[in-house]
Amino acid sequence: MKSQDRNDRSDASSSRPSRRVKLEALLFTGAALGTTLLTLGGDTIPKLPPSAGE
């Protein structure tokens, strides 16, 4: 009976994502969000008109 309990616990821990998988998902999400904000922010920056005196 005890060996069956040990197998149940190991199955539960293996179904949870590891720290590395969590870190990779977090980095991917952050990079996607950063790229989106950078792209949208680049469109809102006004361009300077050419100077008439030069």
The pLDDT tens digits for 19-45 are 999 999 999 999 999 988 888 877 666
pLDDT (0 to 100) of residue 30: 94
pTM of structure: 0.47
| Percentage of the chain modeled with pLDDT above 90 | 30
Task: At 20, give phi and psi (nearest 5°).
Answer: -65, -40
pLDDT (0 to 100) of residue 48: 72
pLDDT (0 to 100) of residue 18: 93
Please name the amino acid found at residue 42. Answer: G
